[in-house]
């Protein structure tokens, strides 16, 4: 089901990806698609794809910000996000609010690295935040959408995110996945918790 729905969705959103990707290239000449090593089912790593919403040298800029701004460093260590992230481009703000930046992950779903529904894929330094619950995270494929996305996303604490991922991993059902997908539509349209 994941592969069939993701393949069909990719056909429909491809023109949108082409247009937005071209706009990203035009803004600064950098690559339109960004990939990052993420951890998936059974702890296996994979390249997670996103449309680039930040400046081309975002990783270097982050290190500069964290080294010179103690408040930003504390916020990053707590949430792995910066509310007022100066690295996000004007177009990036739009594609994040609308979740367009996540659409290339349909390719990850087709490749079997992700699912339509599951926890959001995490990076290495987030593993410690899961602690003993990392095994629950690893029990399922990460998802394009999930319980965290429909329960508030960035409006929740990281601890709440972990608990939502554990809850999903331990109680997932086909019907539950359908309900999460249906709840994703208004969450995206209303930009619920999107930053």
Phi-psi region of 43 (alpha: psi -120 to 50; beta: other; left: phi over 0): left
Q: Does residue 189 sit in helix, strand or coil?
A: helix
Please say whether the beta carbons of 19 and 9 come within 8 A. no
Would you write out the chain's pLDDT as a tens digit for each of its 195 residues? 999 999 999 999 999 999 999 999 999 889 999 999 999 999 999 999 999 999 988 889 999 999 999 998 988 888 888 888 889 999 999 999 889 999 999 999 999 999 999 999 999 989 999 999 999 999 999 999 999 988 877 678 889 999 999 999 999 999 999 999 999 888 777 766 555
List the chain domain ranges: 1-53+88-190, 57-85
- Dihedral sign of CA atoms 48, 51, 53, 54 in order: positive
pTM: 0.88
Rounded Cα distance between 30 and 56, Å, is 6
């Amino acid at each position: 089901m994941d592969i069939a729905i993701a393949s069909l969705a990719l056909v429909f959103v491809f023109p949108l990806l082409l247009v937005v990707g071209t706009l990203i290239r035009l803004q600064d000449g950098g690559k339109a698609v960004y990939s990052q090593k993420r951890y998936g089912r059974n702890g296996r790593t994979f390249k997670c794809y996103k449309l680039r919403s930040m400046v081309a040298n975002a990783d270097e800029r982050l290190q500069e910000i964290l080294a010179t701004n103690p408040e930003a460093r504390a916020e990053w260590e707590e949430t792995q996000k910066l509310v007022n992230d100066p690295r996000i481009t004007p177009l990036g703000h739009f594609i994040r609010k609308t979740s367009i930046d996540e659409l290339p992950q349909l390719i990850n779903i087709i490749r079997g690295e992700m699912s339509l529904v599951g926890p959001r894929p995490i990076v290495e330094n987030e593993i410690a935040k899961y602690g003993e619950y990392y095994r629950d995270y690893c029990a399922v494929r990460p998802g394009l959408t999930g319980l965290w996305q429909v329960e508030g996303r960035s409006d929740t604490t990281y601890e709440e995110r972990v608990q939502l991922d554990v809850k999903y991993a331990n109680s997932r059902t086909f019907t539950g996945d359908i309900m999460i997908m249906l709840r994703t539509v208004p969450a995206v349209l209303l930009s619920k918790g999107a930053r």
